Structure 1
Amino acid sequence: MLGPGESLCCMVTFRKKSTFCQESQTPLNTPDDSMTIRSLSLLLASVLAMGSSFGQVSSSSSSLQSSGAVDANTQFQGMISRGYKPLFNGEDLAGWRNPYSHGEAKVVDGEIHLLANDKFFLVTENKYADFRLSVEIHLPEGKANSGVMFRCHVDDDAKKKVYGYQAECDGSDRRWSGGLYDEGRRGWIWPSTKGRSEAQFLEHEEESKAAFENPTIANALNRNGWNRFVVTCVEDYITIEVNGVPTTSFRDAVDTNGYIGIQHHGEDGQTYRFRNLFIKELPDIPAERSVSLTEQAPVSVKKVNDEVILVDFGKVAYGNLKTRVPDTGRGEAIFHFGEKLKDGRIDRNPPGTVRYGETRIRKEVALKGNWVIPTPVDSRNTEQAGNKRAHPPAVLTPKTWRPVMPFRWVEIEGWEGEFKPEYIVRRAAFATDWNDQASSFECSDETLNKIWALCKYSIKATTFAGVYVDGDRERIPYEADAYLNQLSHYYTDDDVKMAATSFDWLIENGTWPTEWAPHMVFMAHAEWMYSGDIQWLKQRYELLKAKTLMHRSGEDGLVRSAEMDRKRHDIVDWPQKERDGYVFTEINTVVNAFHIEAIKQMAEMARAIGKNEEADAFESRVELAKASFQRTLFDETSGIYRDGVGTDHSSIHANFFPLAFGLVPDDKLAGVISWLKERDMQCSVYAAQYFMEGLFENGLDDKAIELMIADGDRSWKHMVESGTTISWEAWDLKYKPNQDWNHAWGAAPANLLPRFVLGAQSDAPGWTTAMIRPCPGGLAYARGTIPTPRGPVSIDWKNEATFEMSLTLPDGMVAKVDLPATGETTGVLVNGESVATTKAGDRWILTDEVSGSVMIKVK
C-alpha cells in the first residue's frame, strides 16, 4: 500500500542478478555448483515474478505463483484457509451465465475454456460490492486479449451486453496488462490514450503511460503461461495486480457493485483458459470469529460532585458500557470515556492520541431495562480506503457490538438520584479463548514482576480486533508490530490462532517500510516453529518470496537502497528520532541484516516442505551475503559495524541487529559486545526487542535486565511507574508526541522474560523439542509457566551458591538444556545423578535431552 506522501508511479529498477561474487568473480562454493546456480537462477526469477513493487511500496503479494510451484490442492486449500470462496467449482459452470447468443464456455480438467468467433463475456449470477478477487488467465498463442470484469453490468437487450470495469490482460506488444479499462462505456482509464479515453482521464495520459513503460509493470505478464490477476475494490478505491506486481491504483466512484466476468476477445479458433477463481468479500471482520465481549464490574464508583460520577474499571480495555436506564429525569446523560486522569478528573484534552471521547444519551422516563452506551467513533480508525490517501484498511469490529474504544475511566453527568456500582458494567473485548491461567512469571525483582504483569495484560487487551493492530490511532496491522505481538502472545496464552490470522491479513495488506516485509518471513517461521503445521506453511511459502528483499539485491548478495528508499522506506527504527544518528546509505547495515535473516529462515522453511533445491539456493545466497556483509560493513579499526557503505558512523542499531541475527563472527563478538555493553537504551520500544535478544543470547543478560528496570524515562520501569495499564508506543510522549497508550509492540518483556530469564524456547517445529537456557542476569530466583501447543512447561530455578532448576515438560516434548556455570562448578546432576556435559564458556550444555519432570543442579 502507498505510504503517506507517496505517489502512485514511483519507478523501480531491478539490478542484474548473478550467482558470482562481485569482487572475485568466482562461482559460489557449494557441493554442487551447477545445481545451486541453476536453483538460484530459478529462485531469483520466481522472486522477481512475485516481489516486484512500486519503489518500496509493499506488494500485497496476494497472488500465488501459478506456474506449478505449488500443487493444485495445496493452492486451493490455501485460498480457502485465507478466507476466500471459490467462484468456480472446477466441475461445472454453476453460478455463471453467458448473456450472449454466441460463444461457448466449457469445463476442461478443472479449467474454464472460452471459445468464440466474436467477443463475449461469461459472468457470475451474483453481484459483489467490496472484495478481493483472484483469477488466473492463460492467453492463447497469437493475437489475444482478455481481462477480468468486476463490478460490471449486464444489459440483456443491448448489443454490447456486458459493460463496466475491466482489469486488462493484454497479449500485445503494447503490454498494458493490469490496466483499468471501462468496457463499453468510457474506454481506457489507466493508462489513458487519445481517441480511447475521455478528457478527464487524458489529464494523466503521460503519467499513466510512463508507469506502463516501467519494465517491472511492462513485463509483469507471462505471455505464454498462467497469470494471476488480483483486483481489490474497497469503496471507491480500485487496485489491480498482475503476478504480484501492483499495476493500477485508482479512485473511481461510478460503480459500487456488480458482476464478475471473464472475456473471450473474439478471435476465431482461439481458446482462452481460466482457473482458480476466488473471491473474498470485504470488509473482513476477524473479531466476529475470535473475540467476545466480557462484562466487567467497576473497581470503584464515586461522586466527584453533585453533577458528576467517576467510575474506575481498574485497567484500560477496548469496549463500551452497559448501564441501567435511570428511573427518573429527562434531558441528556453524558458519558465521558478516558484513558488518562488529570487532577482527579478525566483529561478531556489529553496529549498525543491518548483517548478521550463522550457519548450523549437522551433520557426518557418510558424506557426500561439497560442502555448499551457506545463510545464515540473515530473515523480514522474505521477508514477502509482512506479519505486523503490510500492505506490498508482499518480493522473493523462487529456492528453488533456497537463502537468500542480503549478507556479505563468513565464520568457520568446528568444522572439524577442514586447511582450504585451494580448499575454499570464495561463490555470489554478480549480473545474468546484467552486463558489468564496459561502463563505466569515471578522472580526476585519486584519491578520485573510488575513489568511482566503490565506486558501480559497489554497482549490480552490488544486482542480486541481479532488481529494484531498498531493501537487505536489507525487500527491497522503493521508487520513489525504484529511480529512482536505474535511472539508475546505465544508466551502469554495457550490457544493462539490470532498469529496466523494476522499473517494472512498482512500478506494481502502490506505496509510501506523496507524492513517490515522481512517481518512477514519471521511471522511465518515463528508460526511454523510454534504450531508445527507444515500444511499451513506449504500453502503460504510461495507468498513469502516477495518479502525477502531479494529483488533489491545485487551480485554480492547485498540489498541496495535507492534514493527514495533512503529518504522514506528504510526505517531502521521508529519514530525517526530514535535512530541514534543513523546515516542512510545505498548499502544499509540494518536493512541487510534483516534481509540475511529472512533468507536464512526461508532456507529452513524450504527444506521443511521438501523444496531442497530452493533451500540450497537460499543457503548459498546467505553465505554470499554474509561474506559481503562482513567485508563491506565491518570497521576493522573500531571493531564494530558502520551504518552503511560510505559512512564512518556507527549507531547502536548497526550493531545490535547483526548481533541478534547471529551475523557477528566469533572472532569479532567480543568487540561488538564490549561496545554495546556501554550503550544505554538508545533505541525505541520496537527495536528494544532485538537489542534485548542480542544481549540475552550473548551472555549480557545482566545488562538486558539492567536496561529493563533502569531509572529514567527509557525503560519499562518508567511505564510501570507512570500508572499505565497497557504498554505504550514509545518510551514517553516527549519521544513521540502522537503516541498511543495502547500499543502491544511496547510489551516485549511478555516474551523476553519467559524466553530468556526462564529460558524456554521452541527448538523444533511444534515444540517437539524445547531449548531450556535460563539467563539469570543476577536474579536470585525465577519461576513460571510457559504455554505451548503440547501443554505447559514449568520452570523454577534458584541462582545462589549453585544453580538449581526444577523443570516439568508436557508429554511429547523433550528438551535440550543449557545452564549457567556459576562459581567453581564441575558438572551437572539430573535427579541426583551426574550426566554428560560440555562446558562452553560460562555455560554447561547437557549432552542428552531430558523429558518429563527433572531436578537439575549445577555442582
Structure 2
Amino acid sequence: MATLNSLRSLFLIVALLAIGSACAEPPVFDLISKPVHDPDWEVGFAAMRDRGYTPLFNGKDLTGWWNPYPHGKAEAVDGEIHLTGDKKFFLVTDKPYTDFRLSVEIHLPDGPANSGVMFRCHVDEDATKKVYGYQAECDGSDRRWSGGLYDEARRRWIWPSIKGRSTEQFLEHAEESQQFFSQPRVRDALNRNGWNRYEVTCVKDLIRIEVNGVETVRFRDATDASGYIGIQHHGEKGQTYRFRNLFLKELPVVPGERHAELTDQSPVTIKRINDKVTQLDFGKVAFGNIVMPVPEGRGMAKVHFGEKLKEGRIDQDPPGTVRYGVTPVRLGQQRGNWIVPAVVDPRNVEQAGLIYANPPAVLTPEAWRSVMPFRWIEIEGVDPEFPFELIRRRAAFSATWNDDASAFECSDETLNRIWDLCKYSIKATTFAGVYVDGDRERIPYEADAYLNQISHYTTDDDVTMAARTFDWLMENGTWPSEWAPHMVFMAYAEWMYSGDTEWLKQRYESLKAKTLLHRSGADGLVRSGESDQNRHDIVDWPKNERDGFVFTEINTVVNAFHIEALEQMAEMAHAIGKDADARAFEARAAGAKTSFHKTLFDEDAGVYRDGVGTDHHSIHANFFPLAFGLIPNENVAGVVDWLAQADMRCSPYAAQYFMDALFSHNRARKALDLILADGDRSWKHMLDSGTTISWEAWDLKYKPNQDWNHAWGAAPANLLPRHVLGAQPGTPGWNTATIRPCPGDLSFARGKVPTSRGPIQIEWTNEESFDLSLSLPPGMTAVVDLPATKNSVGVFAGDTPVPATKRGDRWVVDDVVSGSVRFEVK
C-alpha cells in the first residue's frame, strides 16, 4: 500500500508541475476544491429544509413573487424560476425581510450575461427604475466581480468600487477592493458554466456575501434595514436566467428555545454572612438565574451572582472572564415570586460586532430572562427571617441530557474526580442549544466545538447538538487556519457516530471549502502568507502555549490538519458514492504526505521540525502528525519516544491531540501521568483549584482572560472512555466497534459508554493477568485488542484458548465478537 501511495503521489506531483503555476488548476483539482451543486434541484431543496431554512420558492409556481414591471417573463420550470425578456427587470418577493440568511442558486446563460440577488431592496411602481437597493452581483463577464456589493439605481458599486461607477464615499477603498477581487480564490469563485450558490447574511448594518463558500463581502452599511428579496434578468434578448433553491432563514435563531430547558435547583448550603448578607451555595457552577419569593418591605435589595470566592465571599472583582454580577430586587409591592435575571454581558448578545472579529453571539430564549454562569449568590438587604430555603437556581442544560447515559470508575480516585469534573463540564456548557466558547463571546469556534462534540458523544445518549452546531458553524465560521479543517473533523465524527449518509450527502460539497486546498501548492503542501503566519495560523492558543513554535511559509501543524482533512474527505466521498472525488482526495493526500515527510522531517533529530526554514522541533509539530497517523511506520517509534520525554507544553485544547497520540501508541502510562501530574499544568490542578467546570487554560497566569467554563478543557471526558475503557467506533454508525483498553498503571476500570446503538458496558482488571468483561448492544460487533501482560501466552475464555494474534505488546482477538463476552490475557 505504501508503494501504491508513493506512485500515486509521484504521478500527482509530476502532473501538477507539468501544468505550471501560472496555468489553471487541472480538472481533478477543481473537482475537490470547489462545491459541485447537484443537477437535481430536489436534492438541494431537501438539504436546505434539513438545515432549517424556509423556501421562498416552492418549486412548482411563483406564489409569493411578483414582477413590478410591464415587461419580462417569469415562469416555474422543473423546480427552477426562469426569467426571460429583452429589458432589465426584477422578480421580487411580496414580503419584506429584516435580518436573515438568504441562499439562492443561480445559473447564468451562455454569452454576455449579468444578474444578481437583490436583498433589503425597495419597489417604487411609479418610477422608471422600479426596483432599487442592495444587490449581490453575479458577473458573467471577464471582469469577474461576482459576489460584489452593488447598490442598484442608487450609489452603484460599493465593494469593489471604481471611479465613475461609485459615489465618492466608496472610492477611498477602490484600490483595496479591486485587489481583493483580483485574488484567484475570489476571482474564480463563480462557476461560469454551472450552478452557483449565493448566500447573503444581513444582521443589523452588517452585510456578508458568499459565492460557493467563498466570502466576497463583509461590509457595514446602514442605508437599508429591511426590504424585499429579488432576482434579476439583465435584459439580454433571448437569454434565460435560471434560479433555484431560494431559501431564507430569519435571524436571530435561538437554539435554546427548542433544545435547552431550565431546571430548578435547591441551594446546597445557606449561610448568614452578617446582619445584611446571606450567601447561598448551589454546589456547582451552572448557567442560569434565580427565582425567589418577593421579599417584604420597602426599597431595594441586591442579588450578587458569583463564579469565584475570595476570602469566603463572592469575588466582586474577579480576574479574566471569571463572572460576577449584581441585580437589584424591589422589595414588597408584589405577591408570588421574582425571577431575578443575571447581569447581561454585552458581548453575549452582540449580533453584529466588530466587522472582522466575531460572528453573532448565540442568544438564549427571551422568556428565560438573562443567564450567566454562577455557583454562589449573596442576597443583600433582606430580612434574616426571609425563607432563603425557597430560593431556586434555574439552571439551563440540554433538554435531553441524561446523567445515567455514561459512567466511569477506576482504581485512581483522582482520575474518577477528573472524569466527574469533565463530564459535568460538557453538561453545563449545553445551555445554549449549540456548543459555545464558554461565556466570553458565547459563539461556537470550530476547534472548541469539535472537542466538545467528541466528549458529548461519550457522556450523553442524545447528541443532536453536534450536528446542529456543525450547521451553525458552516454559516458563522471563524478565522483561524486550523479551525476550518475542524469542520471536516466534525462532519466525519458525526458520520462515524450516527452512520447517517443522507445527512453527510447534504453537507459534503460545502466541506470542500474547509480543507485549505486553496492555499496548497503543486507539492500538495499548504502555504502561509504573512497574514497567515501573524494571525491565522494558530498551532495552539494562547500564544505562550506553543512550545516556542517557529512560524514559516510551510509549517508542519497547518499541513498536518490539511492532510488529515483530505483523508477524511476521501472516506466520506466514498461513503456517499462520490468515487471520483474520493480518488482525487486520496491522490492529493498521498502526494501531500510524501512532500510532508520529505520536507519537514529532520532525519538527524528523528523528529519533525516546525516548518521549512527552521530547525526548531516543538512537541506540536510531532504530536499532531502522530495523532493523525501521518508518520511513516519506520519513524513512529522515534517520535513516540521523543514525545514520551516531554511535559505538558501545550494548552488543554492541544492536549486532546497530545493525549490521543500517546494513548494510541501504547504510552497510556505517560498520558495518565500528564493528566494526573502535580504542578499547575494538568487536570489535577484544575480539580485541586476547586473549579466545577473545566477551564480554558491551565491557570490564569497562562491566559489572564480565560473562561472558567470552557468545554475544550474537558478532554478526559472522551479520553477516558475512548482509551482507558477503550471503546471507539470501528465503522460508521457503530455497526462495529474497536475495544482497545489502555490501562497504564491502573489496576481496574469499569464504565458505560453511550453509542448510537445503545451503551457498551466494559469492566477490566489489570493484575497478573488482564481480565475483560464486555457487553455490546444488539446489532454491534467488535474487534477486541488487549494489552499483553508480562510473559503472557495468549487470550482465554475461561480455560479455553481464544484465537488471537500478538502485535507488538498487544493481543488482538482474531474473530469479531458480539453480545456479552469475557476474555483473559494470561
Residue 680 of structure 2 is matched in structure 1 by 713
Shift, 1:687, TM fit:
0.4
Which among 487, 492, 503 is matched to residue 525 of structure 1? 492
Amino acid at match of 1:668: N
Residue 66 of structure 1 is matched in structure 2 by 37
1:605 aligns with 2:576: no
Shift, 1:568, TM fit:
1.2
1:157 aligns with 2:117: no
Q: Is the 8 A contact 2:423 2:717 kept in 1?
A: yes
Shift, 1:832, TM fit:
4.4
Q: Secondary structure in 2 aligned to 1:491? A: helix
Shift, 1:145, TM fit:
1.9
Residue 352 of structure 1 is matched in structure 2 by 320
Aligned CA distance change for structure 1 residues 255 and 423 (closer, same or farther; 3 Å): same
Q: Is the 8 A contact 1:20 1:26 kept in 2?
A: no
Shift, 1:116, TM fit:
1.9
Which among 232, 246, 261 is matched to residue 292 of structure 1? 261
After alignment, is 577-586 or 159-168 more displaced? 159-168
Residue 751 of structure 2 is matched in structure 1 by 784
Q: Is the 8 A contact 1:572 1:591 kept in 2?
A: yes
Residue 420 of structure 1 is matched in structure 2 by 387
Shift, 1:97, TM fit:
1.0
Q: Aligned equivalents of 1:48 and 1:533: distance in 2?
A: 24
Residue 813 of structure 1 is matched in structure 2 by 780
1:835 aligns with 2:802: yes
Amino acid at match of 1:571: I
Q: Aligned equivalents of 1:830 and 1:565: distance in 2?
A: 56
Which among 178, 188, 197 is matched to residue 219 of structure 1? 188
Aligned CA distance change for structure 1 residues 300 and 671 (closer, same or farther; 3 Å): same
Q: Secondary structure in 1 aligned to 2:267? A: coil
Shift, 1:830, TM fit:
2.5
1:144 aligns with 2:129: no
Q: Is the 8 A contact 1:488 1:750 kept in 2?
A: yes
- Deviation string, structure 1 residues 458-490 (Cα, Å, up to 9, x no partner): 000000011111110011111110110001000
Amino acid at match of 1:128: Y
Per the normalisation by structure 2, the TM-score is 0.96
After alignment, is 106-115 or 738-747 more displaced? 106-115
Q: Aligned equivalents of 2:720 and 2:677: distance in 1?
A: 16
Shift, 1:67, TM fit:
5.9
Which among 54, 57, 69 is matched to residue 85 of structure 1? 54
Q: Is the 8 A contact 2:29 2:584 kept in 1?
A: no
- Deviation string, structure 1 residues 204-246 (Cα, Å, up to 9, x no partner): 2222223223333233223332222111101100011222222
- Deviation string, structure 1 residues 167-208 (Cα, Å, up to 9, x no partner): 112223332221112122222222223333222122222222
1:546 aligns with 2:513: yes
Aligned CA distance change for structure 1 residues 175 and 621 (closer, same or farther; 3 Å): closer
Residue 497 of structure 1 is matched in structure 2 by 464
Q: Aligned equivalents of 1:752 and 1:156: distance in 2?
A: 64
Residue 358 of structure 2 is matched in structure 1 by 391
- Deviation string, structure 1 residues 264-290 (Cα, Å, up to 9, x no partner): 122232222111111111111111121
Residue 306 of structure 2 is matched in structure 1 by 338
Which among 588, 598, 605 is matched to residue 631 of structure 1? 598
Which among 645, 656, 663 is matched to residue 612 of structure 2? 645
Q: Aligned equivalents of 1:162 and 1:452: distance in 2?
A: 60
Aligned CA distance change for structure 1 residues 25 and 810 (closer, same or farther; 3 Å): closer
Residue 329 of structure 1 is matched in structure 2 by 297
Aligned CA distance change for structure 1 residues 209 and 664 (closer, same or farther; 3 Å): closer
Residue 128 of structure 1 is matched in structure 2 by 97
Q: Aligned equivalents of 1:661 and 1:93: distance in 2?
A: 50
Which among 241, 246, 250 is matched to residue 277 of structure 1? 246
Mapping of residues 132-531 of structure 1, within 5 Å = 132-326=101-295, 328-363=296-331, 365-387=332-354, 389-531=356-498
Shift, 1:110, TM fit:
1.4
Q: Aligned equivalents of 1:564 and 1:47: distance in 2?
A: 25
Residue 42 of structure 1 is matched in structure 2 by 27
Q: Aligned equivalents of 1:189 and 1:423: distance in 2?
A: 59
Q: Aligned equivalents of 1:344 and 1:289: distance in 2?
A: 38
- Deviation string, structure 1 residues 315-359 (Cα, Å, up to 9, x no partner): 000001111001x21111111101000011000000000000111
Which among 670, 674, 691 is matched to residue 641 of structure 2? 674
Q: Secondary structure in 1 aligned to 2:232? A: strand
Q: Is the 8 A contact 2:12 2:587 kept in 1?
A: no
After alignment, is 546-555 or 288-297 more displaced? 546-555
1:724 aligns with 2:691: yes
1:746 aligns with 2:731: no
Residue 56 of structure 1 is matched in structure 2 by none
Amino acid at match of 2:221: D
Q: Is the 8 A contact 1:786 1:792 kept in 2?
A: yes
Amino acid at match of 1:45: D
Residue 504 of structure 2 is matched in structure 1 by 537
Q: Percent identity?
A: 69
Q: Aligned equivalents of 1:597 and 1:215: distance in 2?
A: 25
Per the normalisation by structure 1, the TM-score is 0.92
Q: Aligned equivalents of 1:368 and 1:125: distance in 2?
A: 47
Q: Is the 8 A contact 1:44 1:551 kept in 2?
A: no
Q: Aligned equivalents of 2:383 and 2:406: distance in 1?
A: 44
Shift, 1:708, TM fit:
0.4
Amino acid at match of 2:74: A
Q: Aligned equivalents of 2:174 and 2:588: distance in 1?
A: 41
Shift, 1:655, TM fit:
1.0
Aligned CA distance change for structure 1 residues 359 and 816 (closer, same or farther; 3 Å): same
Greater relative contact order (Cα < 8 A, sep 6+): 1
Aligned CA distance change for structure 1 residues 551 and 372 (closer, same or farther; 3 Å): same
Q: Secondary structure in 2 aligned to 1:437? A: helix
Q: Is the 8 A contact 2:37 2:509 kept in 1?
A: no
Amino acid at match of 1:592: N
Q: Aligned equivalents of 2:696 and 2:28: distance in 1?
A: 38
How many residues get paired?
812
Q: Which 4+ residue blocks in structure 1 deviate beyond 4 angstroms?
A: 19-28, 387-390
Residue 36 of structure 1 is matched in structure 2 by none
Q: Aligned equivalents of 1:667 and 1:137: distance in 2?
A: 51
Aligned CA distance change for structure 1 residues 24 and 77 (closer, same or farther; 3 Å): closer
Q: Is the 8 A contact 2:134 2:149 kept in 1?
A: yes
Q: Aligned equivalents of 2:107 and 2:590: distance in 1?
A: 38
Q: Secondary structure in 1 aligned to 2:34? A: helix
Q: Aligned equivalents of 2:488 and 2:787: distance in 1?
A: 32
Q: Is the 8 A contact 1:309 1:413 kept in 2?
A: yes
Q: Aligned equivalents of 2:702 and 2:285: distance in 1?
A: 22
Amino acid at match of 1:452: W
Q: Secondary structure in 2 aligned to 1:771? A: strand
Shift, 1:738, TM fit:
0.3
Q: Is the 8 A contact 1:443 1:449 kept in 2?
A: yes
Shift, 1:642, TM fit:
0.7
Q: Is the 8 A contact 1:22 1:556 kept in 2?
A: no
Residue 14 of structure 1 is matched in structure 2 by none
Q: Is the 8 A contact 2:260 2:432 kept in 1?
A: yes
Q: Secondary structure in 2 aligned to 1:160? A: coil
Q: Secondary structure in 2 aligned to 1:625? A: helix
Shift, 1:76, TM fit:
1.8
Q: Aligned equivalents of 1:43 and 1:312: distance in 2?
A: 61
